[in-house]
Amino acid sequence: MEDSIESVWKKGFLHENSLVAPKINNLYNRKSMHVVERVKRMFRINQRMIVAMSFILPVIHYFVDALWQGLAASVLLLLTGWYNHRVLLGIKTLDTGATSLDYLKSFDRWLTDVLLKTERIVRFSYPLYVLISVSTIWSAWSKQGITLKIHQKFPDLLPLEHLPIIALVVAGGLALLMFGFSTKIHQWEMRLTYGRVFGKLKDTIAEMETLNRE
């Protein structure tokens, strides 16, 4: 697949009957290669960070007496890393087309499809992270005796097996809010992390299509 993509880059983004100067053709050919490699590199960096955090979180949670919460978060991160790995493998199945412009369009459609699928996943994973975070905070407070002080000061909080119902209500409310706003939060994260390179990809495609019509 890599060889076939390389052959497409060598052909350029225009068809043979184009009147655009070869130097311009080569310029946009190199530009398109740079954009694609930059996106792939950012995905790989993100993948490594996820795997690294999956090992670091249990250690951190251990010292706040919340090891199980850390392991739960680690499992979620590893599942996310596994999914991202599958996503990156999908790049190899892209249709190279006749020119590098065709490949860039296919790459852009693939990115759009990936983001839509990821939005559906984070709708459930983000609320789980919230519940794990709340549980971690409560475990840390219990270790420091803060929860006991809260119970002594507010004995009417209706404790349910040492866990006040109001804490469950707060945790559930936060999880529901995260469920409702997960898509918006994920889109904001994508713009913050990949916004510039995604915009560069679309700008490059638009410029190449304009030249291709001339």
Which of these ranges, 10-14, 61-65, 126-130, has the smallest mean pLDDT? 10-14
CA 187, distance to chain mean position in Å, is 9
pLDDT of residue 75: 94
pLDDT of residue 74: 94
Whether the predicted pLDDT of 97 surpasses 70: no
Q: Which of 2-11, 68-77, 165-174 has the highest mean pLDDT?
A: 68-77
Whether the predicted pLDDT of 22 surpasses 80: no
The mean per-residue pLDDT over the stretch 120-135 comes to 89
Phi-psi domain of 126 (left: phi exceeds 0; alpha: psi -120 through 50; beta: other)? alpha
The mean per-residue pLDDT over the stretch 126-139 comes to 87
The string of pLDDT tens digits covering residues 158-207 is: 554 555 666 778 888 889 999 999 989 988 988 888 888 888 888 888 88
Longest Cα–Cα distance of the chain, Å, equals 83
The two tokens of residue 153 are 């000061």
Residue 119 makes CB contacts below 8 A (sequence gap 6+) with 182, 183, 186, 187
Q: pTM here?
A: 0.72
